[in-house]
Amino acid sequence: MTNNEEGTRPDLRSAHWFGPHDLTGFVHRTAIQAEGFSGFAVKDRPVVGIANSWSELVNCNIHFRLLADAVKRGVLMAGGLPLEFPTMSLGESLMKPSAMQFRNLMAMDTEESIRSYPLDAIVLLGGCDKTVPAQLMGAASADVPTIMLTGGPQEPAVFRGKQLGVGTDTWKYADELRAGKMTQADFDELEASAKPTAGHCSEMGTASTMTSLVEALGMCLPSTAAIPAVHARRAQAAEATGRRAVEMALTGGPKPSEILTPEAFDNAITLLMAVGGSTNAVVHLLALARRVGYELQLDRFHEISERTPRIVNVRPSGEYLVQQLFNSGGISAVLKELSPLLHRDVLTVTGESLEAGYANAPDPDGDVITTLDKPFDATGSIAVVRGSLAPKGAVIKRSAASPELLQHRGPAVVFDDIYDLGRRIDDPELDISEDSVLVLRNSGPAGAPGMPEWGMLPIPEKLLKRGIRDVVRISDARMSGTAFGTTVLHVAPEAAVGGPLAIVQDGDPIVLDVATQRLDLDIPQEEIERRLAEVKLPERKYNRGYGRLYVDHVLQADEGCDFDFLQGIPGEEPQRLPYGLMSGWQGGW
């Protein structure tokens, strides 16, 4: 044969590399043979790439080597060739100033690795907060058949007989320590037991939220999102994912562009509101949608939240942890109960509808998962607010807020950045009361930069000692999905680009009214305009490297904080590799 080596399937993407019976094919085949594979390994079989975000810097993903082995086993069982490759790994705990600053970099890493290598299908291995959206964003842009396997939540910590959520309970105990209600010795004992196993956070933080949304989007096998990290079923799911990846390679799909439709995003947002999920998911879904050319709007989240009750009782919006959610039927059981609110016939990685995946899930137990007609909250967990302080919107997790503070008017106490906050928040002379509104600025996408999880501003020590555990807090930052309190986040535009947050002064009255979606700086419009005209933007914090690229091109929170040049263009086909350039003498010599 002149075009393809005998026995190589010409319909496979990898055949463009390994099929030609010329110098190019020679070079590509010998590259694989140098790794110890025989020439038979790439003949007449699909190549499945396993994008592994394993890292010893990310405890959430530390078990991914074993999961990758299980995926490989599944690929081999189905007759494919598994080739594992690393991607950047993002861990919120150790990465400074924020893993969010590097989400787009990891997405670029993932996208270009998929596009440039001879891969017929992709398995994404992600778990920790930003690894999941980063890999999905990269895969969506590359648009090769892709299926995701998430890492699962860790086993719950136990402290003095009580199961703990990794972040949610830690923040509560930290306040008790600062209030003098807990000793340092007690807090040290908590530290020793806080993270007992591999896996991501055990409550409905950002990691558990994003892995749940993967299932609602149809990008993973049904009933796999909530399986604990150390459970045997997690490895079984990995094996099944590998087998399915081979089937997707042989049929050429479905591709991310066929799955990530506007209807699929509506389903994901519906689940987000029903489980009491993280506000971070708003930013990630906005970015992911734009990768496939769908300009999802922030207001769509509020619209869906208003008609979606919260039916899952998991911290920080409830009582239980994701392990109990798994034991009650997992995300499939939640989707089944939400069925009347979903686009049930959307396509998933199984090649079947979303409904087919949850049809046999158990009914709600009434404790961890309840019914639509007896919800824990009548509306969804997240609301969108707008006004003179946030012209392009902001979000609040009302399910984790103090109900009495969702309608509030109070004087601002302003901190110019996180360092100013650190210096003054516990100053005994700080002029603050329980009616005050804490304001943190210059902590957004460009201002921090990277929009760190600083939004759950600490309650001043002088208030903690009076028994006050919540006040209204407003910032252009994010907060951990494990966090709680009456916190308005993602204020857009941010202060560092001239948004109204930049002009707030101590004592200015601020009005928050979640019921009417209002967030206003309650001063005359003429004064607002005068102050805005006098705003001086801060100097760029980076002059070279990725940091410079980031601050020059990052979009605002209401558009997902992706880079402006990475968004998909509506109606445009995804970029394809120009295979023709690999003929003749092109081959890496």
Per-residue pLDDT tens digits for 203-219: 999 999 999 999 999 99
What does the pLDDT average to over 59-85?
Answer: 97
Q: Which CATH number fits domain 382-533: 3.50.30.80, 2.40.70.10, 3.30.1370.60, 1.10.260.40?
A: 3.50.30.80
With pLDDT > 90 as the criterion, what percentage of the chain qualifies? 87
Give me Rg for the CA atoms of the chain.
25
| Residue 494 binned pLDDT confidence (cut-offs 50, 70, 90) | very high
Phi, psi dihedral angles at 140 (to 5 degrees) = -65, -40
Phi, psi dihedral angles at 479 (to 5 degrees) = -140, 160
Q: Which of 304, 356, 362 is nearest to 331 (CA)?
A: 362
For residue 501, the model assigns a pLDDT of 98
Q: Provide the CATH topology of domain 45-155+197-358.
A: Rossmann fold (3.40.50)
For residue 583, the model assigns a pLDDT of 45
Whole-angstrom distance, CA of residue 264 vs CA of residue 266: 5
Write the pLDDT tens digit of every residue in 329-345.
Answer: 999 999 999 999 999 99
Whole-angstrom distance, CA of residue 420 vs CA of residue 508: 18
User: Is residue 342 within 8 Å of 265, Cβ to Cβ?
Assistant: no
- Lowest-confidence pick of 120-134, 186-200, 417-431, 572-586: 572-586
* Torsion 302-306-311-316 (CA) sign: positive
Crossing angle for the helix pair 131-142 and 103-116, nearest 10 degrees? 40
For 392, other C-beta atoms within 10 Å of its C-beta total: 16
For 32, other C-beta atoms within 10 Å of its C-beta total: 19
Whole-angstrom distance, CA of residue 359 vs CA of residue 377: 25
Q: Which of 484, 279, 476 is nearest to 392 (CA)?
A: 476
With pLDDT > 70 as the criterion, what percentage of the chain qualifies? 96
The answer, yes or no, to whether residue 5 has pLDDT greater than 70, is no
What does the pLDDT average to over 229-244?
Answer: 98
Asked whether this chain's domains 45-155+197-358 and 382-533 adopt the same fold, the reply is: no
Write the pLDDT tens digit of every residue in 158-177.
Answer: 998 889 888 888 888 998 99
What does the pLDDT average to over 362-378?
Answer: 97
The answer, yes or no, to whether residue 574 has pLDDT greater than 80, is no
More confident residue, 583 or 189: 189
| Residue 589 binned pLDDT confidence (cut-offs 50, 70, 90) | very low
For residue 11, the model assigns a pLDDT of 86
Residue spans of the domains in the chain: they are 1-41, 45-155+197-358, 159-193, 382-533
User: Is residue 440 within 8 Å of 418, Cβ to Cβ?
Assistant: yes
The answer, yes or no, to whether residue 421 has pLDDT greater than 50, is yes
The answer, yes or no, to whether residue 293 has pLDDT greater than 50, is yes
More confident residue, 586 or 403: 403
| Residue 46 binned pLDDT confidence (cut-offs 50, 70, 90) | very high
162-164 and 157-159 as β-strands: parallel, antiparallel, unpaired?
Answer: antiparallel
In angstroms, the first-to-last Cα distance of the chain is: 24
